[in-house]
A and B are shown apart, each in its own frame.
Chain A
Amino acid sequence: AQKITQTQPGMFVQEKEAVTLDCTYDTSDPSYGLFWYKQPSSGEMIFLIYQGSYDQQNATEGRYSLNFQKARKSANLVISASQLGDSAMYFCAMNPREDNYGQNFVFGPGTRLSVLP
């Protein structure tokens, strides 16, 4: 069965510093997508970044980048120059199957990031 592991329940980072949030996954499917979402205390799940399993380059979106190591089955999120507004819960997720339409979207347990002034 597909599974996502996020080993850091909580993380602290100083404002303006970079932080890495860990994500490892387990799947036997050859084609899959990996996603990171941010959920502030307001509740909305905000899509941050996507990495496809066949993508040669690591994905980047502004201050967010994804450190994708396929052989190690890891997809860590790097946030550069942290801001106070980055304080939130972060979920790693996987869309594992080649022939489905998102039914098996699997979420990790989440990491709560707190940015300190």
Chain B
Amino acid sequence: DTEVTQTPKHLVMGMTNKKSLKCEQHMGHRAMYWYKQKAKKPPELMFVYSYEKLSINESVPSRFSPECPNSSLLNLHLHALQPEDSALYLCASSHGLAGGTDTQYFGPGTRLTVL
């Protein structure tokens, strides 16, 4: 089973709102990722958690705050977003293997609209 789930599927929020995106996997993967994808562009890496520790933060604004409560769950807390943050947010997970073999499996994404 190579399933990664994400909730909600769609989210509309105002610039003063606080919301959270959730991601879950039950494949025993030890690395989890958040990506942002704008229309007609490839995904851009935001954060990487490896063994529940934040290992990569690609200079993402502090209005995005990741959290990894356990090895199966990944959250992305959103606060005071801007309209340009509207995008598809993808979660992915992988075994956390070295050697270039680490396949990432993606969830269905959350389409976020900031008004």
Number of interface residues of B (CB under 8 A): 31
Q: Is the CB of A95 within 8 A of B43?
A: no
| Stretch from A13-21, A26-34, A74-82 forming part of the interface with B | A26-34
- Interface pairs (5), CB distance under 8 Å: A31-B99, A35-B103, A44-B106, A52-B101, A102-B48
Distance between B23 CB and nearest chain A CB, rounded to angstroms: 13
Which residues of A come within 8 Å of B, CB atoms?
A: 29, 31-33, 35, 37, 42-47, 50, 52-53, 91, 95-103, 105, 107-110
The SS class assigned to the B binding surface is loop
Which residues of B come within 8 Å of A, CB atoms?
A: 2, 31, 33, 40-43, 45, 48, 50, 55-56, 88, 90, 92, 94, 96-109, 111
Give the residues in chain B near A97, CB-CB below 8 Å. 100
User: How many angstroms between the C-alpha atoms of A109 and B41 in the bound complex?
Assistant: 6
